[in-house]
Structure 1
Amino acid sequence: MAQRRSNRQVQPQTGTDKAFGLALREIRTAKGLSQEGLAHEAGVDRSYVSLLERGLKSPTLRMVFKLAGILGVAAAELVGRTETVMGTRPPDPGSGFSR
């Protein structure tokens, strides 16, 4: 009997996806929120949050705004942290955060 393969494919990570995932995890853990809690608030499965954080999925722009809102940060902050992780945006010397 042939096994069924899933149509879902996990794409290899890119530098941007990996950096976004690291930034997302950093902010989420700083807020004391679990992957499960974030997923519940966003209306997605916990495994999707895990895939995002591991850089194996790319979020839509809508999801970036949704996640940022749940985390209590501006979408620009989430993207700015991503740029900082990638090394394309230096952190603010006063706060250590990207502006």
Structure 2
Amino acid sequence: MKITNNLLTQVYSSHRYQSLKPGFASISLKNNKVVSFFSGVGEDFISVENYVIALLLRRDEKPHKYREVLKKIAAELLDKIPDGSYMKALPDLYKELAKV
């Protein structure tokens, strides 16, 4: 699947239309689903403001099954964004994701 600006806007908008607070959202597309975590904006945010960590799923996968692992992944990545060390964490986080 090609990740387009339109898809990124859809994912981001699904959060911003709901709330400025941190939280989860999921959307269904024609052939896929996306489950995502938004870091929040304003006074109530986690680690860094206005970031979305998203997982692209197959159409037959259940987004709720990924919430716990996404919470862990998002927490670790968001903490590492300010110093740029998030890239080093990706292989281990992918292994966690593969267990779901």
Q: What's the TM-score, normalizing by structure 1?
A: 0.27
Higher helix share: 1
Larger Rg: 1
Higher relative contact order (CA 8 A, sep 6+): 1
Higher strand share: 2
